[in-house]
Chain A
C-alpha cells in the first residue's frame, strides 16, 4: 500500500488527502459509459428500421447473432477497461498534506507516475486559480506552489476541490511549521 512506501516521519501528522474534484471523474466516466452504449444504441436503431430495408439490402442481423454478440462483448470489455483505467488514475493521483510535507503523487498513465515531496519550510508561495463557469459553481481549480530550491521548484495540479481552502490549510501548516522550527532553533541556541 502507498503509505508503506511513503513512510511518514515519526510524529508526522496527516492533515488531508486530496484528489481531483468529483466533476472531473464524473465527466470521464460518463464518456466511458457513452463509449460502452454506442453499439447497443446502433443495434436498437437498426431494429427499428422498416422491414423493406432488410428485403432491399438482403441484410438480416439475426443470421449473424453470434458474431454480433462476440463484437459487443469485445467492445464492452474495452469500454470497461477504459473506465477502470480512468478510475485508477483518479484514485491514485493525489496530494497528501501533512504537518511537515506535501506529497504530490501524479498518476498520469499506468507507466507514468511521479511522486514529489516538498517540505513546508521550503515553500515560498502558494496560489490558486478558479477559471471558468463550471469550476466557479462547483468550487474547483488549480493550485500552484513554488519552493525555495532552484531546480524543478514549482509544482501545480489542476481540478482540485476547494483550492481556496487548500491554500489556507497549507499556509497555516507552513506557518505553524516555521514557528516550531524557530522555537526549536532558539532553544538550541540558548
Chain B
C-alpha cells in the first residue's frame, strides 16, 4: 500500500492552530503592549530628565502623531479580518 503523503502547508491558514486572523490579533496585542510600555518609558524620561520642556513636548507630540495612526491602522486590520 502506498504511503499517503500530504503537503503540511496545504491546510495552512485553515487549521485552528494556525489561523491567520488569530495570528494578526495576537501580533497586534503583543505590539500594542510593547508600544504602551515603551511610550510610558519615553514620556517618563523626557518629563524627568529633559532640559527644555518645549523640546520635550515637541518630541513627544511628533512621536505620538507619527505612531498612533499606525497603531490604529494595525488595530483596524487585525480586528476586521
Residues of A within 8 A of B (CB): 1-3, 5, 17, 66-67, 69-70, 73-74, 76-78, 80-81, 84-85, 87-88, 91-92, 94, 105, 107, 110, 113
A100–B70 alpha-carbon span in the complex (Å): 48
Residues of A close to B47: CB separation below 8 A: 1
- Please report the number of residue pairs spanning A and B whose Cβ atoms sit closer than 8 angstroms: 75
Asked whether A67 and B20 contact (CB < 8 A) given A74-B31, A80-B67, the answer is yes
Residues of B within 8 A of A (CB): 20, 24, 27-28, 31, 35, 38, 41-42, 45-51, 53, 55-56, 59, 63, 66-67, 70-71, 73-74, 77-78, 81
A60 to chain B, nearest CB (A): 15
Asked whether A77 and B49 contact (CB < 8 A) given A84-B42, A84-B59, A88-B42, the answer is no
A78–B74 alpha-carbon span in the complex (Å): 13
Asked if residues B24 and A67 are in contact (CB atoms below 8 Å), the reply is: yes
Q: A1-B49, A5-B48 are in contact. List 14 more A-B contacts (CB 8 A).
A: A2-B48, A3-B51, A69-B77, A70-B28, A70-B73, A73-B73, A74-B70, A80-B66, A81-B67, A85-B42, A88-B46, A91-B59, A92-B50, A110-B45
